[in-house]
Each structure stands twice: as structure tokens, then as C-alpha cells.
Amino acid sequence: MKLIRTAALLLAATFAATAQAAYPDKPIRIVVPYPPGGTTDLLTRLVAQKLSESIKQPVLVDNRAGGAAMIGSDLVAKSAPDGYTLLSTGAGPHVINVSLFPKIPYDPVRDFAPITLMSINPLLMVVPAAMPVNTAQEFIAWAREHKDKANYCSIGLGSPSHLAAELFKPLAGIEMTHIPYGGSGPAITATIGGVCSVLFDSVLSSGPHVKSGKLKVLATGNKQRLPSWPNVPTLAEAGLPTFEAFTWGALLAPAGTPHDVVARLQAEMARIFAMPDVRQKIEDMGALPGGGTSAELDAFTRSEIRKWAKVIKDGNIKPE
């Protein structure tokens, strides 16, 4: 009887190992909790194509926008942890919403298995082309002198654009009035028109307007200068050494996904991000290629949650 039980256990273990070794043996779906066309969506489609070529299986991108990007995130959190439904997400739904909303339908740490960071998406500090400043320090001096005029646009309440400005204000020792808009388009239009004094926005959306001369870039929110914008100083260089604000993308699986599946996906992502053509395309989007281990992404997520929770609390920021 004991021999039969042992043989059965060995057979089950062999079957499980064989089944796992076959991963992936069917299409993979990557859920993007945003509409098509944004940085996260474009990056996910690029990665999906390369991953599909490598694993010889279709990799489908499924846009599930809505609910402050929580609909798509929750869908993946409650999906089977088998490696066939993944989430390509960002700072908003994964770290900011935790502190912005009194309750969200998932826990960004407990309900997901981190795979890897996919991108760092820098923010540019831009002002109207006619603004009489050319550096971040000159803007700070202007804002102190024109307290009644100083304001900032954002792409929405609680957005990285909003929180970056809230992080900037106390570090710069200035006050500014917040004017929220419903997306990059209207916020950029208002800034170009001089309605707003300054805007923190992604390279992808604001960069073309800088190059056309409609906006003026003063600094970037990264610690290091951007390869695609080498002549633009960082805010750290401008005298705010602790300032760092950017959006980012990450690839996640539902919690409970087998470790070897997560490791396989992380290895595939590392290989993809090492490809010169992929790196160039990501930089052309105004982003920086990601990478790193699951443990590193987990630590990064926790630190980002703490960082933006303090900004939200100190600014008394609440959802509409």
C-alpha cells in the first residue's frame, strides 16, 4: 500500500512538472487598464509582439479602461493564477489609488505577483513659451514674486502630474493654485495658452510641443538626465536634490502564480528589454526601458506607496 501511495505521488509530481514545463501552451492575455494609445498601451503592444515571437504563442493586449484604471486591475487580481492573464499597469492604479480612495477592490501588494518593471516614464516641467523664465530656479523666483498669479495645471485630480506639482511646491518653498483638467490634451492646451504657469507632464504628450516651440521645458523629474533630452537639467540639478517624480509601467500576475512561471516571464522581459530595437523604440516614446527582478519590483512598489501616501496626506488631496 505504501509503495502504491509513493508511486502515485511520484506520478503526480511528474505530471505537474511536465505540465508546468509546457508553459505557455496557449495564448497569454495582458490587460491594460487604460484606453489605447497611451505610453503603457504602446509599450505593452511592443512587448507583447516580442514575447509572442519568443514563446510561439499569441500574446493578446486587452484594454479594460475605467474606474480610475481599477476595473482592469481588479479583473486581473481575481483571475486564475496560471500565468495566462497578466496586468500591465502604472503608478496611478497601483500605488496612488491606495491612498487617494477610501477603498479600492484589490490590494496592490497582496493580490499580485510582481514580474518586472517595464518602463520609467519621465515627467517634463514645462511652461508657456512666453513665460519670462528659462530655468527651474527662475520659475521658483517668479512664483515667489507673483503669488497671486502662480498656478499649475494637471492632467487630473490625483494624477502623477498633480502629485508631482504637490511634491514640488514645499521643496521649492512656493504656493500655487491647482487647475485640474481631464487629460494631457486640455492641460497642454491651457498651458500653451498661458492659462497655467507650469505643468508636469509626460515626454510622450508634452515633448512634441516643446520641440515645436509652443512650450518651454525647464527640467525633468528624474534623478539623471534623459538620453533623449541630454541638454535638459534635472530638478535635482536645479537645487531640489530630493525631488524625483515620474510615472512607470510594471508587469504583474495574480497572486499565487507559480514561481517558475513568474521567473520565466521575468527572464523573457529581461531578454526583450536588452534588444537594441526595443530600447530605441521605448526611448522614442519618451520612456526608459525597465527591467529588474520580482523582488526589486516588490520593494519599489512598497516604497512608491509610502512616498505618494505622504504627498496625498500632506496636500489633503481627496477624490472628487
**Percentage, residues of the chain above pLDDT 70:** 93
Phi/psi-derived region of residue 62, left when phi > 0, alpha when psi is between -120 and 50, beta in every other case: beta
Q: How many domains does the chain have?
A: 2
Distance, in Å, from the CA atom of 303 to the CA atom of 314, rounded to the nearest integer, reads 17
Q: What is the predicted pLDDT for the residue at 7?
A: 40
H helix runs in the chain, sequence order = 2-21, 39-55, 70-77, 91, 97-100, 136-145, 160-172, 184-192, 203-211, 259-273, 276-284, 294-314
> Where is the domain boundary, 205, 220, 235?
220
Rg (the chain; Cα; Å): 22
Label the pairing between strands 28-32 and 85-90.
Answer: parallel
| pLDDT digits 0-9 by tens, 147-173 | 999 999 999 999 999 999 999 999 999
Assign 216 a pLDDT band (cuts: 50, 70, 90): very high
Mean per-residue pLDDT for 4-14?
Answer: 41
In a domain, 57, yes or no: yes
Least confident of 2-6, 101-105, 163-167, 200-204: 2-6
Whether residue 162 sits in one domain with residue 69: no
Q: Are residues 132 and 206 in the same domain?
A: yes
The predicted structure's pLDDT at residue 4:
41
User: 238 in a domain, yes or no?
Assistant: no
Q: Please tell me whether residue 21 adopts helix, strand or coil conformation.
A: helix
In a domain, 225, yes or no: no
Last residue of a domain, one of 185, 220, 255: 220
Q: How confident is the model at residue 10 (pLDDT cuts 50, 70, 90)?
A: very low
Both 155 and 114 in one domain: the answer is no
Residue with cell 511652461: 127
* Residue 193 forms part of a structural domain: yes
Residues 108 and 207 occupy one common structural domain:
no
Same-domain pairing of 197 and 167: yes
Task: Give yes or no: residues 104 and 8 share one domain.
Answer: yes
Among left, alpha and beta (phi > 0; psi -120 to 50; other), residue 218 is alpha
- Whether residue 110 sits in one domain with residue 258: yes
Same domain as 150, residue 83: no
Minimum mean pLDDT range among 52-61, 276-285, 293-302: 276-285
Q: Which residue has the higher pLDDT, 6 or 84?
A: 84
Per-residue pLDDT averaged across 215-234, rounded? 93
Q: Which three cell numbers stand for residue 298?
A: 516588490
Q: Is residue 236 part of a domain?
A: no
What digits encode the pLDDT tens for the residues 108-141? 999 999 999 999 999 999 999 999 999 999 999 9
Omega cis (within 30) before 186:
no
Q: Do 59 and 140 sit in the same domain of this protein?
A: no
CATH of the domain at 211: 3.40.190.10
Domain that holds residue 33: 2-121+246-314
Determine how many CB atoms are found less than 10 A away from the CB of residue 5.
Answer: 9
Q: What is the pLDDT of residue 21?
A: 56
Residue 11 has pLDDT above 50, yes or no: no
SS3 102: coil
- Copy the grid coordinates of residue 259: 514561481
Residues 8 and 116 in one domain: yes
In this model, does residue 286 exceed pLDDT 90? no
- pLDDT band for position 77 (50/70/90)? very high
Predicted confidence (pLDDT) at residue 38 exceeds the cutoff of 90? no
Together in a domain, 104 and 203: no
Per-residue pLDDT, averaged over 284-299, amounts to 93
Question: Does residue 232 sit within a domain?
Answer: no
Checking if the pLDDT of 13 tops 50, the result is no
Partners of 59 in beta bridges = 28
Whether pLDDT at 9 is above 60: no
How big is the CA angle at 155 (ends 128 and 232), to the nearest 5 degrees? 45
**Average pLDDT score over the chain:** 92
Please indicate, yes or no, if residue 100 is contained in any of the structural domains.
yes
CA 106 and chain centroid, separation:
18
Cell of 56: 510561439
Q: Which three cell numbers stand for residue 315?
A: 496636500
According to the model, what pLDDT value does residue 104 have?
A: 95
Q: Does some domain include residue 55?
A: yes
Same domain, 7 and 57: yes
Task: Report how far apart, in Å, the C-alpha atoms of 288 and of each of 120, 136, 144, 152, 208 are.
Answer: 5, 23, 34, 26, 17
Query: Which domain CATH number covers 256?
Result: 3.40.190.150
